[in-house]
Structure 1
Amino acid sequence: MRTPSSLLADRWHPSAVTVRRAAMAALVMSVVIVVTGGAVRLTSSGLGCTTWPRCTGESLTPTPAMGIHGVIEFTNRMLTYVLCAAVGWVTLAARCARPWRRSLTKLGWAQFWLVMSNAVLGGITVLTGLNPYTVALHLIAAMALVWVALQLWERAKEGDGAPQPAVSRPIVQLSYLLVTVIGLLVAVGTLVTGAGHHPGSPGKDGKPVPRIPLDYDRLAQAHADLAFLSFGVVLAVIFVFAAVKAPPAARARARELFVVLLAQGLLGFVQYFTHVPEILVGIHMLGATLVWIAALRIPLALRERPEEPATAVPAQALQNA
């Protein structure tokens, strides 16, 4: 039986440029949803809609009595549909392009399921009254979506040949170590948020929003320590890449990460000593996403994929996809 996507593929054959543009749109929207999700918390609108999937028990949309908080929370929910449209565009574009690159289609579907699972996790977050652990998982899942969206965008610019390392294995492993450290930095940042000053809402049914029962200052210090470690690893990567004459793109991306990480670190110190004002925290969340992207791009620059056409796919597989 033919699937709707296979029928569409008979009539629409987007160019490689269209696929790359669709991949970029999905990546941009994955960043936007992180920032707008942060805006919901920082404006204390996390429970602007009191339930899920409806906004209230009786209404799908916010009521006038809910005020601006209901509008902010509902707007963030609606942006999820924009994200879904972007993910749907890139998935269909990858499926309908000729030759069909199965790897791109799989990455598109991976984005779709991450969006769906994160939407459910967001609903659980609301239903549990903004439990800080589910809030942290919500952000980590959003960062996973950014990771997959970036993978698709980068793969769309490569060929389908087997990846060929451009440097020795220890250099590649060093880049993986860097990504791991940056990932830990982001993860600990979510714990700082969970124990910090912006719970996301005054509370539900008269009960305050729970916080992670760990000392905020110690968590912030651990986050700062990981930031210093990240600086050290980035500097090591920059010097090692120069010594081994790594590909120019990899060296440029390492320098870009250092600049973004430096700006993010300075912003972190300013917001800590100014008692974490909302606007700076919002910018810091955007910065965390950009740091994550900059780190992920480095290992991808240490390989080459020949500009070869995709392997021919059997007609039956094309019909069933």
Structure 2
Amino acid sequence: MPKTLNPLELIARSCQPSARFVRRAALAAVVMAVVIVVTGGAVRLSQSGLGCSTWPRCTPDSLTPTAAMGINGLIEFGNRLLTYVLCAVIGLFIIAARARSPRRRALTRLGWAQFWIVMGNAVVGGVTVLTGLNPYIVAAHFLLTTGLLTVAVVTWRRACEGDEVPRDVVARPVRQLAWVLLGATAVLTLAGTVVTGTGPHAGDARKVNRIPLNWQEVTQLHVDFVYIVVGLTIALWFTLRAVKAPAAPRRAARDLVVCLLLQGVIGYVQYFLGLPELVVGLHMLGSTLVWIAVLRVVLTLRDRGALADLPEQQSGSPEAVRPAEPAAAG
């Protein structure tokens, strides 16, 4: 009796996506993770957090928003629909990675990790609505999205490199400094969620519970961590130059410096202008770009070799695929 093939095996036998297509699908997942953060911010900043009064339906009697709900219902429901787009993009990546020969199981595992994070975060988003925008649940919702972005960036990086045993391209103290920078940036992001939970943009025009802390004091703590992250970034940048690290880590550190400077400007503008919604939204976008830039710094400090189809690697990669420069001794 012939063996029954599952859908992924049928696709794998009928088509062979290129490595470039897999990389672009991974990059599309990163872009969609950023879009979800920004549109989620738009929901809060437009006071549409309770535009749909319940979950998973929009109202107790309707799956979709009604005319009486106005623009707030459309904004909230539109953000929910983007979850399906995100799942479709991740699904495309999983299928492409599974169909690609030779099969790279690490890529499909990372793709499924993204999918289950999205499913879990959808439930947390529903709990957010059912609890009337509880600020702690809102913070957890954002942090899970940051976790999705993290896995998506790692997936993108893995799709652009080979499967050799990882080789460090800089000395251990330099890697340790990069990990300290990553940890400080994670704390900075966490502090940002507390600022959101105490600040004036609660997500709905009606009374919403807030974290019982002084908003300005929490904001100052957030700024203190900004200074720490900027200092660590500049220290790492000069260290990489001093030890003559390969070009990829030095470029990644330079890009991070630029992102932090731009994000700092946006942060001060939003503070002195009284937190206008558009500028706060730009600040949320900047936070995702800073996190991506930090991850790129850490991920470029080790090398797994190039993919077998090197001629394809002229675009779509987080780092141009160039021969790695020898690491400095030490």
Report if TM-score (shorter chain) is over 0.5: yes
Q: Which runs of 5+ in 1 are unaligned?
A: 311-321
Name the residue aligned to 1:279.
278
Q: For residue 76 of structure 1, give the secondary structure of its aligned residue in structure 2.
A: helix
1:5 CA drift (Å): 1.6
For residues 205 and 134 of structure 2, the distance between their equivalents in structure 1, rounded to whole angstroms, comes to 13
Name the residue aligned to 1:258.
257
1:303 CA drift (Å): 1.1
The number of equivalent residue pairs is 306
Name the residue aligned to 2:21.
18
Are positions 1:9 and 2:12 aligned together? yes
For residues 161 and 91 of structure 1, the distance between their equivalents in structure 2, rounded to whole angstroms, comes to 21
1:178 CA drift (Å): 0.8
Deviations 1:129-148 (A, max 9, x none): 00000111111111111111
Counterparts of residues 62-211 of structure 1 (less than 5 Å): 62-203=65-206, 208-211=207-210
1:246 CA drift (Å): 1.1
Deviations 1:198-245 (A, max 9, x none): 000023xxxx11000011011000000000011110111011111111
1:2 CA drift (Å): 3.9
Name the residue aligned to 1:297.
296
1:308 CA drift (Å): 6.0
Name the residue aligned to 1:316.
none
TM-score (norm 1): 0.93
For residues 258 and 227 of structure 2, the distance between their equivalents in structure 1, rounded to whole angstroms, comes to 14
Letter in 2 for 1:287: G
TM-score (norm 2): 0.91
- The answer as to whether partners of 1:99 and 1:309 remain within 8 angstroms in 2 is no
For residues 287 and 264 of structure 2, the distance between their equivalents in structure 1, rounded to whole angstroms, comes to 10
For residues 188 and 307 of structure 2, the distance between their equivalents in structure 1, rounded to whole angstroms, comes to 38
Deviations 1:232-281 (A, max 9, x none): 10111011111111111101111110111011112111111211111110
Are positions 1:226 and 2:225 aligned together? yes
For residues 307 and 55 of structure 2, the distance between their equivalents in structure 1, rounded to whole angstroms, comes to 47
- The answer as to whether partners of 1:161 and 1:308 remain within 8 angstroms in 2 is no
Q: For residue 99 of structure 1, give the secondary structure of its aligned residue in structure 2.
A: coil
- The answer as to whether partners of 2:160 and 2:307 remain within 8 angstroms in 1 is no
Name the residue aligned to 2:236.
237
1:307 CA drift (Å): 3.0
For residues 19 and 11 of structure 1, the distance between their equivalents in structure 2, rounded to whole angstroms, comes to 16
- The answer as to whether partners of 1:192 and 1:220 remain within 8 angstroms in 2 is yes
Measured on the aligned residues, the alpha-carbon RMSD in Å equals: 1.2
Name the residue aligned to 2:39.
36
1:29 CA drift (Å): 0.4
Letter in 1 for 2:296: R
Q: For residue 10 of structure 1, give the secondary structure of its aligned residue in structure 2.
A: helix
Name the residue aligned to 1:249.
248
For residues 29 and 294 of structure 1, the distance between their equivalents in structure 2, rounded to whole angstroms, comes to 16
- The answer as to whether partners of 1:160 and 1:309 remain within 8 angstroms in 2 is no
